[in-house]
Amino acid sequence: MDSKVVIYTDGACAGNPGPGGWGALLQFNDTSKEIFGYELDTTNNRMEIMAALEALRILKKSCNVEIYTDSKYLQQGITAWIHNWVKNNWCKSNNEPVKNADLWQKLYAELSKHTIIWKWVKGHANNSGNIAADKLAVQGRETAIEILKCRG
């Protein structure tokens, strides 16, 4: 597992819930790949998780990965809270179901494939990778908005 991939992720939503997008910038050696997607009715937190999930899904082999996110929800969820959620059958300590459990479960499944370091970065703070991921997430969100406009 010599390969090191750096990933910047972000989510964007117009309203919460509302049309949303996710984006990720993947960097490997001198190569970079940009990906984005959208959902017509979603939340900002779902888009944050989707960005990380889809970025990990496109990796073709096990890698050492650094993921940078400006979402404390994503960073804390995957590094601190998820272990108790798994033990508690995807319930929080108050026995309420974990929000977005469907996506957390999929993201959790990706963890075993890679060695991942999760890092939080301040959003909109001149970090070029975060800025690129934000632009991609906004592109996804704008795509969703345009689709909804076409549907009337």
Q: pLDDT digit string (tens) for 77-109?
A: 999 999 999 999 999 999 999 999 999 999 999
**Cβ atoms within 10 Å of 104's Cβ, excluding its own:** 21
Q: pLDDT digit string (tens) for 3-60?
A: 899 999 999 999 999 999 999 999 999 999 999 999 999 999 999 999 999 999 999 9
Tokens of 42: 């979603």
The whole-angstrom separation of Cα 108 and Cα 95 is 20
Residue 20 designated active-site: no
Residue 48 designated active-site: yes
Catalytic residue among 20, 21, 37, 48: 48
Domains, the chain, in order of start with CATH, read 4-151 (3.30.420.10)
The answer to whether 30 is a known ligand-binding residue is: no
Which residue bears the tokens 């949303």? 20
Predicted TM-score (pTM) of this structure: 0.95
CA distances from 91 to 76, 106, 116 (A): 16, 16, 24
The answer to whether 70 is a known ligand-binding residue is: yes
Residue 10 designated active-site: yes
Find the radius of gyration of the CA atoms of the chain.
15
The whole-angstrom separation of Cα 32 and Cα 88 is 38
